[in-house]
C-alpha cells in the first residue's frame, strides 16, 4: 500500500503545482510558465544530489539516464507546441493514454504485464480522465477522437503520450539499476538545466522574468521537487503502468482545485469521470497489493 500512498501524493503534488503555476504565472508565455518551476526546482535537486550516497552504477543505468533526457525533452517541446496551436480541451485528454501505452512498453522494457483486472483498471482510468476533459454543450463525446484528423495539436499530444510511455518505463529501469533518490535528483537536475538552456537558446524565455516572483517560484519549484521524490520512490514498488494510472488522479484533484480557486464550471458533469477514475484506481490497487 506504500506505493499507492506515494502515487497519490505524486498526483496531489502535480495538481497543486499546475494550480499554482496557473494562479501565479498565467500572465507569462506558455514556455515561461513551464520553465518557472524548472528554474526554481533545479537548486533543490542539485543540492539534494550532494547529500545522498552514490550507488553502484552500471551500463544499464547510463543508457537509461541518457535515453530519458532526450525522450522527456522531446515530449516537453511537443507538449508546449500542442497546447500553443490547439485548444486545451482537444489536447490535454490525450495524456490519459500514457498508461495504456505503458502496458506494451512496460512489457518490452521491464517484462511487466498487468493481469486482466489490472488492464481493466487502467482502461477505466483512461476513459474517466478522458471524459473529464469534455465540455457539455461545446464538445460531444467523440470530439477529441475526431480532432485527431483535423487538429494538429491533438495528434501531437497523442504522440507526447506515446513518448512518455517510453520515458516512464525506461526511467523505472534506471531507478532499479541505481536508487530512487539518486536517479530522481540526478535526472531532474540535468533535465531542468538543459531544458532551460534550450528554451533560452531558442529565445522562448527571458531569464529576467524569473526574478519577478522568487517566493512563488520556490513554491512551484518545491512542488515539482516533491513530485519527483514521490514518483521516484513509488516506481520501484509496483508496475509502472499502475503507478502512472494512479498519478493521473491529478486530473481529479485539478478539477476540484479549478472549481474552488478559479470557479471553473461543469464540476457536476466531471464528477462522473472522476468516479470512473476512482473505480479504475480501486481495481489497480487490488491487483497491486
Asked if 8 and 249 count as a contact pair (C-beta separation under 8 A), the reply is yes
Question: For 113-147, how does the pLDDT look when each residue is reduced to its tens digit (9 = 90+)?
Answer: 888 877 888 888 777 766 765 666 655 656 656 65
State pLDDT tens for residues 62-92.
Answer: 999 999 999 998 988 888 777 777 665 566 6
Predicted confidence at residue 124, as pLDDT, reads 83
Element (H, E) at 263: none
Q: Around 206, how many Cα atoms within 13 Å sit in the side-chain half-sphere?
A: 6
Of how many residues is the chain composed?
Answer: 289
The residue that leads in pLDDT, 67 or 285, is: 67
Helical H segments across 86-203, by residue range = 98-110, 116-132, 143-147, 152-176, 180-201
pLDDT of the residue at 269: 63
Task: Give the predicted TM-score (pTM) of the model.
Answer: 0.83
**pLDDT tens profile 168-224:** 999 999 999 999 999 999 999 999 999 999 889 888 888 777 888 889 999 999 999
pLDDT of 99 reads 83
Decide if 239 contacts 112 (C-beta within 8 A).
yes
Give the count of alpha carbons within 13 A of 93, CB side only.
Answer: 25
Model pLDDT, residue 43: 94
**Nearest Cα residue to 245 out of 154, 128, 112, 134:** 128
Q: Taking a C-beta distance cutoff of 8 angstroms, is the pair 157, 95 a contact?
A: yes
What are the structural domain ranges in the chain?
Answer: 2-288
Distance of CA 241 to the CA centre of its chain: 13
R_g (Cα) of the chain, nearest Å: 18
CB-CB neighbours of 55 under 10 Å: 14
Amino acid at each position: 500500500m506504500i506505493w499507492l500512498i506515494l502515487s497519490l501524493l505524486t498526483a496531489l503534488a502535480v495538481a497543486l503545482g499546475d494550480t499554482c503555476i496557473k494562479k501565479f504565472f498565467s500572465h507569462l508565455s506558455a514556455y515561461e510558465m513551464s520553465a518557472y518551476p524548472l528554474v526554481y526546482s533545479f537548486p533543490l535537486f542539485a543540492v539534494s544530489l550532494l547529500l545522498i550516497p552514490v550507488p553502484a552504477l552500471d551500463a544499464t543505468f547510463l543508457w537509461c539516464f541518457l535515453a530519458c533526457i532526450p525522450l522527456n525533452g522531446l515530449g516537453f517541446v511537443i507538449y508546449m507546441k500542442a497546447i500553443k496551436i490547439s485548444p486545451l480541451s482537444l489536447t490535454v485528454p490525450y495524456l490519459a493514454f500514457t498508461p495504456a501505452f505503458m502496458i506494451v512498453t512496460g512489457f518490452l522494457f521491464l517484462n511487466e504485464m498487468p493481469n486482466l483486472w489490472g488492464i481493466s483498471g487502467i482502461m477505466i482510468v483512461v476513459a474517466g480522465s478522458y471524459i473529464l476533459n469534455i465540455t457539455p454543450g461545446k464538445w460531444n463525446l467523440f470530439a477529441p477522437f475526431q480532432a485527431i484528423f483535423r487538429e494538429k495539436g491533438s495528434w501531437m499530444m497523442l504522440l507526447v503520450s506515446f513518448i512518455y510511455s517510453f520515458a516512464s518505463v525506461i526511467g523505472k529501469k534506471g531507478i532499479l539499476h541505481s536508487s530512487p533518490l539518486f536517479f530522481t535528483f540526478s535526472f531532474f537536475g540535468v533535465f531542468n538545466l538543459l531544458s532551460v538552456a534550450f528554451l533560452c537558446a531558442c529565445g522562448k524565455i527571458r531569464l529576467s522574468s524569473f526574478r519577478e516572483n522568487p517566493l512563488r517560484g520556490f513554491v512551484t519549484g518545491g512542488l515539482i521537487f516533491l513530485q519527483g521524490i514521490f514518483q521516484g520512490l513509488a516506481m520501484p514498488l509496483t508496475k509502472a503502468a499502475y503507478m502512472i494510472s494512479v498519478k493521473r488522479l491529478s486530473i481529479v484533484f485539478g478539477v476540484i482545485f479549478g472549481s474552488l480557486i478559479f470557479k471553473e464550471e461543469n464540476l457536476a458533469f466531471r464528477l462522473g469521470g472522476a468516479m470512473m477514475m476512482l473505480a479504475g484506481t480501486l481495481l489497480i490497487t487490488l491487483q497491486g497489493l
